[in-house]
């Protein structure tokens, strides 16, 4: 194993050691959403023809879990290492900022995908879903997880206390994922909020991802791909830059 | 080629008193070369700049000006090569609570790209008395055991240059002896060692050459023997049961009941003893000993006590 591969492995082992908390917890939360919203709204809401509300809900919940957990992995690992002081072991190594980026984001992507696959596996007991365009599913899952892993790096580097990271999660990540069309089609919103939703990159990640399952979406998957791609590049570049200058980790 | 080279290194931080308009010079134009195979001591009071110098060497901080290299590799421009040659034992007792000792060593070895390193890891565990703790989670180790692991982590990639930043602070005698025996063995095998410590008897016993820092400047740099020779020679030491009169406090070093005076000759010793007798002091355990590194250190610090503090405050 090379240096960055070892760091990737260590980051995977870090969340795997507490798999009940890092994978089991998010899957249970997603299932509770599915049970409560699915049962409550199944007979009242029809988003797409031929698609039940529960089936509509599953890809959104899986993507939401993927995004939140990819973010949580890199951000919590970094902040914990900073607070505990053990980040010094990494800072003393010859690993470059690029190695850090690949290892931390790679582990975030891995955790996001594990959580999403588990959400689908458990959801299969409740509903059936199709895979109309699997390539779109894979592309949006990978891009979304990478974007959120990189965003988690930025949040972890910027935060110096757990409270700061919690604020990042509670006031940015959580509202943006909830207001991205996980539980509804944005066409059901008033025009103003539809426009607001179009400014939310999380909406495009979930809409593009959902297109892969049903072949229908609120906006063109190509538009979603463009928005997510540009956001991914901007966020990744920012994270890579902050790592390169040692933002809040080297003085 | 020096093992470690500091060339005109300065480090300025925002002044704690006035962060907006001033800077505090933690290091002021420090130049120092440490040759391969040396056991070098870096001494100084708290806040002298020792740890700042080491953090710059380790790449944890960037010098405001100057250049630092490890066996010819610049710590900024050629950081990967420099860090491969350097093993640093940090001062803080830090650990990763997710893993056990062997895992921590394997990860650290892997970060340096060292493969198939289990034989050396076993040797490290054995030499540091950690063999029976190899599978114990880091959280469950005592402070002394954690300190041993820190040493192991610094040495796991077999660096030719070892930096120990106060490695024996707050640890028991057994660990000190184990640690110094192991580090001395590595030094004999050719490793360069840079040590900072507040235990001056350790520095005197181990270091061939010593630099003393005060307020970010090198105020003494010489071989340990030359520093000891340059000291005042002898020290008169005794114990008292009562308070030392103010007239006798001039020049005295008082540690609890122990009073020490630097004494260059027999006349000076007689003078101190006569003054003590006149003051009615009852003296116990009187001895005259050679000046040690602590005496040298205190003398050097006293000589440089009048560094103008305004020099340290540089307007931004």
Q: Does B112 contact A93 at a Cβ distance shorter than 8 Å?
A: yes
Q: Is residue B120 part of a domain?
A: yes
Looking at residue B38, what DSSP letter applies? -
Residues in CB range of B85: below 8 A, 6 or more apart: B70, B71, B73, B159, B160, B161
- Nearest C-alpha of chain B: how many angstroms from A160? 17
Q: How far apart are the first and last CA of chain B?
A: 36
Residue pair B57/B4 in contact (Cβ under 8 Å)? The answer is yes
Judge if B35 and B73 occupy the same domain.
yes
Chain B CB contacts of A6 below 8 Å: 107, 110-111
Per the domain annotation, does B139 fall within a domain?
yes
Whether B49 and B195 map to the same domain: the answer is yes
Please name the residues between 172 and 231 in chain B that touch chain A, using a CB distance below 8 Å.
Answer: none
Q: Are B185 and B95 part of one and the same domain?
A: yes
* Alpha-carbon torsion, ordered B29, B35, B41, B44, to 10 deg: 0
What is the pLDDT at residue B306?
A: 57
Q: What pLDDT was estimated at residue B19?
A: 62
Asked if B115 and A1 come within 8 Å (Cβ–Cβ), the reply is yes
Q: Which of B228, B243, B275 is the last residue in one of the domains?
A: B228
What digits encode the pLDDT tens for the residues B224-234? 988 888 776 78
Q: What pLDDT was estimated at residue B315?
A: 31
Boundary-marking domain end, from B206, B228, B250: B228
Domain housing B278: 232-290
pLDDT value of position B232: 61
Q: Does B59 touch chain A (CB under 8 A)?
A: yes
The DSSP call for residue B100 is B
Domain contains B223: yes
Distances in whole angstroms, Cα of residue A93 to Cα of each of A90, B44, B59: 5, 27, 9
Q: ipTM of this model?
A: 0.91
Q: How far is A134 from chain B (nearest CA, A)?
A: 36
Q: What is the pLDDT of residues A164-176, one digit of tens each?
A: 999 999 999 988 9
A89 → closest Cβ in B84, B98, B108: B108
Q: Are B57 and B205 in the same domain?
A: yes
Reduce the DSSP state of residue B305 to 3 states and report it. coil
CB-CB neighbors (< 8 A) of B86 in chain A? 92
Minimal CA separation from A242 to chain B, in Å:
15
pLDDT category of residue B309 using cuts at 50, 70 and 90: very low
Q: Any chain A CB within 8 A of the CB of B79?
A: yes
Looking at per-residue pLDDT, the higher value among A71 and A178 belongs to A71
Domain membership flag for residue B80: yes
Residues B176 and B223 in one domain: yes
- Closest partner CB to A94 (pick from B80, B92, B98): B80
Per-residue exposure over A201-233, b if at least 16 CB sit within 10 Å of its own CB, e if not: bbbbbbbbbbbbbbbebbbebeebbebbeebbe
Residue to substitute from B82, B110, B152, interface A, most A β-carbons within 10 A:
B110
B175 and B242 housed in the same domain: no
How is chain A classified by DSSP, letter by letter? Answer: --HHHHHHHHHHHHHHTTHIIIIIHHHHHHHHHHHHHHHHHTTT---STT--HHHHHHHHHHHHHHHHHHHHHHHHHHHHHHHHSTTHHHHTSS--HHHHHHHHHHHHHHHHHHHHHHHHHHHTTT-----S-HHHHHHHHHHHHHHHHHHHHHHHHH-SSHHHHHHHIIIIIHHHHHTTSSSS-GGGS-HHHHHHHHT-HHHHHHHHHHHHHHS--SS-HHHHHHHHHHHHHHHHHHHHHHHHHTTTT--
Note whether residue B311 is domain-resident: no
Are B216 and B93 members of one domain? Answer: yes
Phi, psi of B65 (to 5 degrees): -150, 165
Final residue belonging to a domain, choices B228, B245, B262? B228
Give the pLDDT of residue B263.
81
CB proximity B112 to A under 8 Å: yes
> For chain B, how many structural domains are there in total?
2
Return the CATH number at B196.
3.40.50.300
Residue A177, pLDDT score: 87
Q: If you count residue pairs, one on A and one on B, with CB atoms under 8 Å apart, how many are there?
A: 77
**Residue of B98, B150, B161, B165 to mutate for A, most A C-beta atoms under 10 A:** B98
Collect all residues of chain A within an 8 Å Cβ-Cβ radius of residue B61: 250-251
pLDDT digits 0-9 by tens, B12-61: 988 766 666 678 889 999 999 999 999 999 999 888 999 999 999 999 99
Q: Do B99 and A13 touch (CB under 8 A)?
A: yes
B213 and B265 belong to one structural domain: no
Q: What is the pLDDT of residues B193-208, one digit of tens each?
A: 999 988 888 898 999 9
Specify whether B101 is located in the same domain as B142.
yes
pLDDT tops 60 at residue A217: yes
Question: Across residues A47-52, what is the average pLDDT?
Answer: 76
Considering the domain architecture, whether residues B104 and B199 belong to the same structural domain is answered as: yes
The residues, ordered by sequence, that sit 6+ positions from A105 with a Cβ below 8 Å of its Cβ are A74, A146, A149, A150, A153, A236, A239
**Dihedral sign, Cα of residue A64, residue A66, residue A70, residue A72:** positive
Domain assignment of residue B306, yes or no? no
Residue B110 in contact with partner chain A when CB distance is under 8 A: yes
Asked whether residue B151 is domain-assigned, the answer is yes
B207 located within any domain: yes
Mean pLDDT of A129-137: 92
pTM: 0.89
Q: Which DSSP state fits B20?
A: T
Q: What is the mean pLDDT of residues A181-194?
A: 86
B-chain residues near A246 (CB < 8 A): 62
- Secondary structure E strands in B166-315: 192-196, 209-214, 217-223, 234-240, 253-255, 258-263, 283-290, 313-315
Query: Domain-by-domain residue ranges, chain A?
Result: 3-245
């Amino acid at each position: 194993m090379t240096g960055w591969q070892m760091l990737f492995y260590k980051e995977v082992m870090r969340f795997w050691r507490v798999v009940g908390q890092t994978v089991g917890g998010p899957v249970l939360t997603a299932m509770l959403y599915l049970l409560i919203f699915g049962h409550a709204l199944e007979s009242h809401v029809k988003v797409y023809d031929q698609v039940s509300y529960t089936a509509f809900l599953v890809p959104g919940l899986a993507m939401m879990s993927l995004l939140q957990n990819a973010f949580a992995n890199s951000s919590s690992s970094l902040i914990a290492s900073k607070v505990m002081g053990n980040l010094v072991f990494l800072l003393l190594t010859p690993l470059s900022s690029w190695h850090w980026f690949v290892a931390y984001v790679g582990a975030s992507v891995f955790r996001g995908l594990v959580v999403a696959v588990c959400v689908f596996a458990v959801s299969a007991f409740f509903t059936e879903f199709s895979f109309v365009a699997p390539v779109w599913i894979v592309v949006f899952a990978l891009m979304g997880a990478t974007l959120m892993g990189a965003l988690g790096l930025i949040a972890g580097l910027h935060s110096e206390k757990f409270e700061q990271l919690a604020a990042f999660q509670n006031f940015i990540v959580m509202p943006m994922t909830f207001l991205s069309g996980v539980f509804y089609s944005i066409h059901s919103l008033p025009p103003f909020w539809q426009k607001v939703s179009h400014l939310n990159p999380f909406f495009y990640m979930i809409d593009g991802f959902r297109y892969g399952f049903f072949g229908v979406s609120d906006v063109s998957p190509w538009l979603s791909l463009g928005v997510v791609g540009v956001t991914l590049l901007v966020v990744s570049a920012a994270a890579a830059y902050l790592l390169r200058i040692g933002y809040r980790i080297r003085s | 080629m020096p093992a470690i080279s500091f060339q005109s290194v300065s480090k300025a931080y925002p002044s704690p008193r006035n962060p907006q308009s001033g800077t505090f010079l933690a290091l002021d134009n420090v130049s120092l070369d440490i040759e391969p195979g040396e056991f070098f001591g870096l001494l100084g009071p708290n806040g002298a700049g020792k740890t700042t110098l080491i953090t710059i060497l380790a790449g944890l901080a960037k010098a405001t000006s100057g250049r630092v290299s490890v066996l010819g590799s610049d710590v900024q421009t050629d950081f990967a090569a420099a860090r491969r040659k350097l093993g640093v034992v940090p001062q803080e007792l830090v650990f990763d609570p997710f893993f056990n000792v062997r895992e921590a060593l394997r990860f650290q070895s892997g970060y340096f790209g060292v493969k198939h390193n289990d034989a050396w890891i076993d040797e490290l565990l054995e030499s540091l008395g950690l063999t029976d703790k190899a599978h114990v989670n880091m959280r469950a180790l005592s402070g002394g055991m954690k300190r041993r692991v820190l040493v192991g982590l610094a040495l796991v990639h077999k660096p030719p240059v070892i930096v120990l930043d106060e490695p024996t602070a707050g640890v028991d005698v057994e660990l000190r002896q184990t640690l110094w025996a192991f580090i001395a063995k590595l030094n004999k095998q050719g490793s360069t060692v840079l040590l900072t410590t507040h235990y001056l008897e350790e520095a005197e016993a181990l270091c061939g050459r010593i630099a003393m820092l005060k307020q970010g400047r090198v105020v003494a740099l010489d071989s340990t023997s030359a520093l000891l020779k340059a000291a005042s020679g002898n020290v008169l030491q005794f114990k008292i049961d009562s308070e030392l009169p103010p007239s006798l406090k001039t020049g005295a070093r008082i540690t609890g009941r122990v009073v020490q005076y630097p004494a260059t000759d027999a006349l000076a010793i007689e003078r101190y003893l006569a003054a003590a007798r006149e003051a009615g002091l009852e003296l116990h355990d009187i001895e005259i000993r050679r000046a040690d590194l602590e005496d040298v250190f205190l003398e050097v610090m006293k000589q440089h006590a009048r560094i103008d503090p305004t020099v340290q405050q540089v307007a931004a």
